[in-house]
């Protein structure tokens, strides 16, 4: 699946080919990314390819972000709760591509996609020290902290207006 963000940014469902194209950028940022997500320093492309093969329906999905045709990051979904209609979203943009509104524009596009599917709420699990992600999340309409944990915050962002329920 492809999602059009704007004339410079497109999202494409992750597959072996685009995972391999993105991997060198991921590996270059791995030390930084490991502050926020539990990745080992010896993380290999094979780990990403296994993830591609093991995604769980219906909404366990990841999109590679393309900027001017180049892979530059990822937006992913996980832990869909069918009962509540909630799903977690993560994103990462490679360091050479930051400060171009790629992350916020991509996240907003995925949020619109999730709204169209009738999901209720997108959740973000973010470390308290991750001020850039917190700043991005706070720009989303209706986003608020719903759980304050020792090492992180869970933000919720409603996808449906109360009248839609």
Domain boundaries, the chain: 2-164
Gyration radius of the chain's alpha carbons: 15
- Output the CATH code of domain 2-164: 3.40.630.30
Helix (H) or strand (E) holding 124: strand 121-127
Sign of CA dihedral 71, 75, 78, 81: negative
* pTM for this predicted structure: 0.89
Least-confidence region, from 6-20, 26-40, 53-67, 110-124: 26-40
> pLDDT tens digit string along 60-102?
789 999 999 999 999 999 999 988 999 999 999 999 999 999 9
Q: What are phi and psi of 67, to 5 degrees?
A: -115, 120
User: Residue 164: which pLDDT band, with cuts at 50, 70 and 90?
Assistant: very low
Cβ atoms 74, 62 nearer than 8 A: yes
Over the stretch 116-133, which tens digit does the pLDDT of each residue have? Answer: 999 999 999 999 999 999
């Amino acid at each position: 699946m492809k999602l059009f963000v704007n004339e410079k940014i497109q999202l494409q469902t992750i597959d072996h080919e685009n995972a391999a194209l993105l991997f060198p950028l991921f590996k270059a940022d791995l030390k930084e990314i490991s502050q926020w997500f539990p990745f080992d320093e010896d993380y290999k492309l094979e780990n990403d390819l296994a993830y591609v093969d093991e995604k769980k329906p219906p909404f366990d999905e990841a999109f590679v972000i393309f900027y001017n045709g180049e892979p530059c990051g990822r937006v992913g979904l996980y832990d869909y709760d069918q009962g509540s209609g909630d799903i977690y979203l993560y994103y990462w943009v490679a360091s050479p591509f930051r400060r171009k509104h790629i992350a916020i524009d991509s996240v907003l596009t995925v949020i619109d996609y999730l709204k169209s599917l009738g999901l209720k709420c997108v959740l973000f699990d973010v470390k308290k020290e991750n001020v850039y992600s917190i700043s991005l999340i706070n720009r989303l309409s209706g986003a608020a902290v719903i759980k304050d944990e020792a090492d992180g915050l869970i933000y919720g962002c409603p996808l449906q207006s109360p009248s839609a329920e």
